[in-house]
Structure 1
Amino acid sequence: MFGFIKQGLKKTVDAIKTVVPKKKLTLTKNELEDILLEADVEYALVEIILNEIYQEKVTRQILEAKLLATFAYSSYAQPKYDAPFVDLIIGVNGAGKTTTIAKLASMYKNEGKRVMLGAADTFRAAAIEQLTRWADKLDIPIVFSRQGHDPSAVAYDTIESAKAKNLDNVIIDTAGRLHTQTNLANELKKINRICEKAHAGAPHRTILIIDGTQGNSAIAQAKAFNEMIGIDGIIITKLDGTAKGGSVFSIAYALQLPILYVGVGEQPEHLIKFDKYEFVNSLLDEIFAAEEEN
């Protein structure tokens, strides 16, 4: 998987190079401001970073420390649980939920775990069909119902079935209607309650899927979901298709939630466990020159 993060940041790096075409040993604060804004770091965070740098010349070491600090409050610790471990997947339509669920299921399966999917997005028939096709392709069992059926019942049946079969992991999809809709909020809260009734502690992890091409505009959306149901972690999709890779810093800083994985391509192996050090250094490698390059 080495290098996938760097590949996923290619468009962001290309955008940065329009500001600073050649690698440098140091940056001025004006250059740094232009770079961060071009990469779609939220302006409020750019100001914070600049205000905390007192040197006139910004070195790689200085910037690395400031960028890593944006992830300071966003670590994830898996809770204690009795199998199966239940992931509840939320997010708006078009963010890449279904594909990400398939990638996550494939990853679990490759780790030797036995997985079951729950198609609790009963609002759209297409969502049920798409997830069922992925389950067939991955040879993973799935619980689904007809369009319009109670999504909480699907979640309950999925967990009960997984428990009866002694499976390791359950991944439950949910409807992705606009986050401002009251009905969606009530539906998600009900699914949450029913999961707990089916299995103590479930859902053990609620994951929000964010479309990376939305950049900073996804922050308000994420805050709304967090207020609705509470989020344990974030997966950012389509990072390879955007020049807004810097928004990852803004999202982590604004929400103080862990980024669990990033999607950098269509294949199952393109769901990459997020590593803040690799992410930061993949950007810095393209901005700063090594001493011997000069």
Structure 2
Amino acid sequence: MDKLFGMISGKEIDDDLYEELEEALISGDVGVQTALDLVENLRERERKDKLKTAEDLQKALAEELQARLAAPEEILDEVPGALNIILVVGVNGVGKTTSIGKMAHLLQKEGKQVLLAAGDTFRAAAADQLKIWGERVGCGVIAHQEGADPAAVVFDAIAAAKSRGIDWLIIDTAGRLHNKVNLMNELNKIRRIIDREAPEALREVLLVLDATTGQNALSQAKAFSEATGLTGVILTKLDGTAKGGVVIGINSEYDLPVKFVGVGEQMDQLLPFSADDFAEALFAGITDLDQDAKEAEEGAEGPTAEDADLFEEEGAKSHD
């Protein structure tokens, strides 16, 4: 979204400015339809609200973004005193396991009892990575051996959560199998186990996306939304406005609120998403919502070309 910087200030409101703005929004990964809608809304507001200056238009754009991105007051849907389950999905390399650890840290800071389930049994050392996070934040992890049935892990984790009086069970899942069909079938199987063993407990199905992947993040949102019934998004590596436009596209095109943003690699650098902060940051030149995290990067590497191909070619081979 870097083309937005300075492009409005000091200019006349005319067709050329609207065309520049539309181009900047599209190139910033907002999505074509969303960009067209935003510009059309601004044209209507110019006429209705009698906008006169470029600064008026900038303020109107910020208000449009805030309205589109507004998240529920309560970030997570929780039933106090009951088991609450978060199912976390996403392709490999987006920072999924890291985000789970950070989310567990946030919940435990609120006094919640948290348990993690290592449902990604296909990626080498995935369970070990989750165990490390469990140790760091001080919560238990239910895991089986590598290659085990993920649904069996989830079954045992639900039983353990019930017996221990756990408030939040967070389930990690596979990010890549032999093809897209296998992956989505596995996720559906896990959902059936949850529906059978804890039918009222599933509160959130969160998709972890890497903000740097642009339009590929939109295609991932589409695929996982169709397969799993998503309730929201965790956006990682959000440390520059050139990476932030995808937030708008995901929310507008798939009606998915961004619930958390990862702005660095430290345990406390997963933040509840703020539409107001995000809209202001677009024009300030940053989307780093935590100034101390400006130079930090998420620990996990971004999605590989093979991961992107997963959503383009169902015959993609696994390299994990």
Decide: shared fold, TM above 0.5.
yes
> Partners in 2 of 1:57 and 1:242 — Cα distance?
24
In the alignment, which residue of structure 1 is the partner of 2:225? 226
SS state at 2:115 partner = strand
Superposition deviation, residue 207 in structure 1: 0.7
**Mapped contact 2:260–2:273 kept (Cα < 8 A):** yes
Q: Does 1:183 align with 2:172?
A: no
1:235 equivalent in structure 2 = 234
Provide the TM-score with structure 1 as the length reference: 0.83
- Give the distance between the partners of 2:273 and 2:11, measured in 1 at CA: 27
Give the Å deviation of 1:31: 4.0
1:162-192 CA-to-partner distances (Å, cap 9, x unmatched) read: 1101111111100001696211111111111
Superimposed CA distance per residue, residues 256-293 of structure 1 (whole angstroms, 9 cap, x where no aligned partner): 01111011111121111011111112223459xxxxxx
Q: Who is 1:94 aligned against?
A: 93
Name which of structure 1's ranges 240-249 and 274-283 shifts more when overlaid on structure 2: 240-249
Match of 1:62 among 43, 60, 63: 60
Q: Higher relative CO (CA 8 A, sep ≥ 6), structure 1 or 2?
A: 1
CA RMSD of aligned residues (A): 2.5
Q: Which runs of 5+ in 1 are unaligned?
A: 1-11, 288-294
State the partner residue of 1:36.
Answer: 25
Q: Which residue of 2 aligns with 1:292?
A: none
**CA displacement 1:97-139 (0-9 Å, x = unmatched):** 0100000011111111111110011112311111111112222
The 1:242–1:95 alpha-carbon spacing in structure 2 relative to 1, beyond 3 Å, is farther
Q: 1:239 to 1:23 in 2, by over 3 A?
A: same
The offset of 1:241, in angstroms, is: 6.0
The answer to whether the Cα contact below 8 Å between 1:179 and 1:221 also exists between their aligned partners in 2 is no
Cross-structure match for 2:36: 47
How far apart are the structure 2 equivalents of 1:24 and 1:108? 45
After superposition, the Cα gap between the structure-2 partners of 1:113 and 1:283, relative to the gap in structure 1 and judged at 3 Å, is same
List runs of 5+ in structure 2 lacking aligned partners: 47-51, 287-320
Counterpart-to-counterpart distance in 2, 1:83 and 1:26: 56
2:136 matched residue in structure 1: 137
Give 1:85's aligned residue.
Answer: 84
Say if 1:125 and 1:147, in contact at 8 Å, map to a contact too: yes
Q: Deviations over 1:204-229 (max 9, x none)?
A: 21111111111122112111111111
Q: Counterparts of 1:57 and 1:246 in 2: how far apart (Å)? A: 24
Shift in CA distance, 178/33, structure 1 to aligned 2, threshold 3 Å: farther
CA contact (8 A) 2:241 2:285 kept: no
2:208 alignment partner, SS class = strand
What amino acid is aligned across from residue 41 of structure 1 in structure 2?
V
Structure 1: distance between partners of 2:264 and 2:160: 32
- TM-score normalized with structure 2 length: 0.77
In structure 2, the CA distance between the partners of 1:194 and 1:82, relative to structure 1 (3 Å rule), is farther
Alignment: residue pair count = 272
Hey, what does 2:202 align to over in structure 1? 203
1:129-155 alpha-carbon deviations (Å, 9 max, x no partner) = 111111122221110000111111101
The equivalences for 1:138-287 within 5 A come to 138-177=137-176, 181-240=180-239, 243-286=242-285
Q: Following the alignment from structure 2 to structure 1, what is the Cα–Cα distance between the partners of residues 79 and 108?
A: 21
> Match of 1:46, as an amino acid?
A
Q: CA deviation at 1:52?
A: 2.2
What amino acid does structure 1 have at the position aligned with 2:125? Answer: A
Cα distance, 1:90–1:160 mapped onto 2, change above 3 Å: same
Q: Secondary structure of 2:145's match?
A: coil
The aligned amino acid for 1:68 is: Q
One-letter identity of the residue aligned with 1:191 = I
Please give the secondary structure, in 1, of the residue aligned with 2:29.
coil
Contact 2:81 2:167 in 1 (8 A): no
Secondary structure of the 2:134 match is helix
**TM-superposed deviation, 1:250:** 0.8
Amino-acid identity (%):
39
Instruction: Give, in whole Å, the separation in 2 of the partners of 1:57 and 1:247.
Output: 28
Q: Is the 8 A contact 1:87 1:171 kept in 2?
A: yes
CA distance in 1, matches of 2:12, 2:27: 18
